[in-house]
Amino acid sequence: MPRISVLTSLFCAEPYIQELYDRSKAALERITEDYEIVFVDDGSPDGGNAVVQRLIQEDPRVRLIELSKNFGQHRALLAGLQHVRGELVFMIDSDLEEDPELLEVFYRTMSENESEIDVVYGVMEKRKGGLLERVSGALFYGLMSTLSEIPMPRDVMGARLMKAGFVDSLLRHGESQPFLGGLLALTGYHQVAVPCEKRSKGTTTYNFRRKVSLALNAFLSYSTRPLTWIVGVGGVLMLVGAAALLVVALRGEPSTAGGADLGWLLASLWFLSGVIVLAVGIVGVYVGRIFGQVKNRPNAIIRKIYN
């Protein structure tokens, strides 16, 4: 039987920890006796850290990685992946929107063709949440498929079972602002999707600002197409401007009677100024990301490891 590691990150997840542990342990014991359950405390302000420490006293197979502050879920999970010791790693969100019993489903799928399958991950049969959440999710994946040079699955879930070799390759990426979904797709290997149900608990720690930040990070990390589009728009505007100059030259000195020509000129100036500012801003964001990358700061800092 393989050694299996279950990995999850904690941020305001105190109400779910005990049930997550109980259900994960039951699922693990139906597969193997050699396992560990690893929690990463991502600077959570609640009492989740103390709950896990109590579990450690009862079960030596529970481990806790405490980060020095909140670094974000993706960085926390990558920090945890550096310390798991299983031949298979089952990664799952801690809020129980995804069933811990998916481990058994994924393990059966992988066992059907163990030599060929490196990763089994869940995709939502139906998008969870209200209308706004469903529409924003569909918009996000639609834009990602349009912008990104890397094919990414739609409606992907956090739950996935990975072989250690895949995890080692995943950790070779040295991104300063990681987007885990993009890294998982970029790493390659043979990955298999399994349709699953994802529940909605009604609340989330990902507020609108954090979702927008995550989306921008995903777009800018895995696509240079906005830069290509800027070049295209610039070329089109240059041609339009040249045509307008030709028209003005053929008409002679334009009249500003009634302000018609002057208004058209001012509107054109405002439009072109907006395009220029937008283009410079996009380029500036890319340059800023280069600045962050070359500083080579760690994605997360571990304060202490329990057990």
* 153 in the same domain as 63: yes
Mean confidence (pLDDT) of the chain: 76
Asked whether residue 157 falls in the same domain as residue 121, the answer is yes
Same domain? For 289 and 148 the reply is no
CATH number of the domain within which 192 lies: 3.90.550.10
Co-location of 24 and 140 in the same domain: yes
Query: Which of 32-36, 73-77, 101-105 is least confident?
Result: 73-77
Which of residues 201 and 84 earns the better pLDDT score?
Answer: 84
Q: Write out the two tokens for 99.
A: 């069933």
Is there a single domain that holds both residue 29 and residue 177?
yes
Report the distance separating Cα 155 and Cα 264, nearest Å: 45
Q: Are residues 21 and 147 in the same domain?
A: yes
pLDDT at site 259? 47
Residues 270 and 206 in one domain: no
C-alpha 45/C-alpha 127 separation (Å) is 29
Q: In total, how many domains does the chain have?
A: 2
State how far the Cα of 40 lies from the Cα of 112, in Å rounded to an integer.
31
Percentage of residues in the chain having pLDDT higher than 70: 59
Query: What local confidence, expressed as pLDDT, does residue 63 receive?
Result: 93
Higher-confidence residue of 236 and 223: namely 236
Highest mean pLDDT among 14-28, 114-128, 133-147: 14-28
Q: What is the rounded distance in angstroms from the CA atom of residue 267 to the CA atom of residue 130?
A: 40
Residue of higher predicted confidence among 130 and 187:
187
Same domain, 46 and 181: yes
Crossing angle between the packed helical segments 260-294 and 208-221, to the nearest 10 degrees: 80
- Could you tell me if 254 and 199 lie in one domain? no
- Identify whether residues 114 and 158 lie together within a single domain: yes
Confidence band for 208, pLDDT divided at 50, 70 and 90: low
Give residue-wise pLDDT tens across range 259-286.
Answer: 455 556 655 666 676 667 667 767 766 6
The number of beta carbons lying within 10 Å of the beta carbon of residue 104 is 17
Are the CB atoms for 36 and 61 separated by under 8 Å?
yes
Taking each helix axis from N to C end, the angle separating 73-81 and 180-187, rounded to the nearest 10 degrees, works out to 40
Cβ atoms 174, 102 nearer than 8 A:
no
Residue 87 is part of which domain span?
4-223+298-306
159 and 243 fall within a common domain:
no
Query: pTM surpassing 0.85?
Result: no
User: Can you tell me the distance from the alpha carbon of 92 to that of 9, in angstroms, rounded to the nearest whole number?
Assistant: 8
Q: Which of 139, 102, 142 is nearest to 123 (CA)?
A: 102
Give the pLDDT confidence score for residue 40 in this predicted structure.
92
> Domain check: are 134 and 39 in the same one?
yes
301: Cβ–Cβ under 8 A, 6 or more apart, which residues? Answer: 67, 68, 69, 71
92-96, 174-178, 226-230: the lowest-pLDDT one: 226-230
Closest Cα partner for 7 from 117, 114, 85?
85
